[in-house]
Amino acid sequence: MADVLSPWSVGRFRDLPGVQHHAEQYWQQDLMWARKHNIDYMPVVFPGFSWHNLKGAKLGAIPRLRGQFLWSQVVANKEAGMNMLYIAMFDEVDEGTAIFKCSNNPPSSGGASFLTLEGLPSDFYLRLAGQAGKLLRGEIPLTETVPIKKDTSRR
């Protein structure tokens, strides 16, 4: 028995066309199945990804695109009829998915390299998560444009 189905999708797509394909092939169909079986459905979305320091992969293998990658997933899920999401992950710095406040000038030692926030404010992804909640609740209009000013003066 289960009350909520929440399939892990981190790394299942790598770009904006991949988001759309995943939404059509999985999220929409999964939601229909879950509703038919009276189970809540909570898709997993993520801001980008990198296993550079953990596995030696390319730094920023799935680029964040200054918030557009995450926001396109939120929009695709809203269009599919979702009313909740799980954002992976709050603090996964080693996988490049962290949304908590980070620096654009991370310290580097021992040959490690870290992604920056591409000049965005340190709390940008937390604020974007807040906008995602507002979109899912119908408090703001649906738009493909990331709904946060990318003002770099706010740190």
- State the CATH architecture for 4-136: Alpha-Beta Barrel (3.20)
With H, G, I as helix, E, B as strand and everything else as coil, classify residue 35. helix
Dihedral sign for Cα 90, 94, 97, 99, please: positive
Q: Where are the domains of the chain?
A: 4-136
Per residue in 85-129, pLDDT tens?
Answer: 999 988 887 788 889 988 888 777 677 777 788 889 999 999 999
Helix pair 124-136, 68-79: axis angle to 10 deg: 10
Q: Which residues contact 70 (CB under 8 A, 6 or more apart)?
A: 45, 46, 47, 48, 64, 87, 125, 128, 132
Per residue in 60-85, pLDDT tens?
Answer: 889 999 999 999 999 999 999 999 99
